[in-house]
Amino acid sequence: MTPLRINLDQNEIPTHWYNVVADMTTPPSVPLGPDGQPVSPEMMGAIFPGPILEQEMSAQRWIEIPEEVRQIYALWRPAPLCRALRLEQALGTPAKIFYKYEGVSPAGSHKPNSAVPQAYYNKLAGTKRLTTETGAGQ
């Protein structure tokens, strides 16, 4: 039988996030405000704490994941990596296709993967109240 699932141990949770910007031939455009003009980091600081801006604006290839965030990730990560064997067969491709099963997270989706560090960085910045939005508009 072909193995269909790859499970990593908790000690294999990544220690760094990979930043694709470091490998882009053309860096992303600067953020624009409602008036179409570039938004300065100071203006963005009105709604985002410094550590989030540093990460968002970074061109470093690897960004360290804080240990506190990794400890929370350990509650449901690493998420299993599953092979889509029937999809490969339906497509008639020699490629191996994998997907991450994020249904093991508390929310049943990928959302806590970014929500946890956002809440962590806001806590570091002294934010007392945090409002979030949902990805699907619920």
Structure tokens at 116: 């946890």
Domain coordinates of the chain in residue numbers? Answer: 76-128
| Mean pLDDT of each 10-residue bin along the chain, 138 residues long | 84 91 92 91 86 88 95 88 95 95 80 89 90 65
pTM above 0.85, yes or no: no
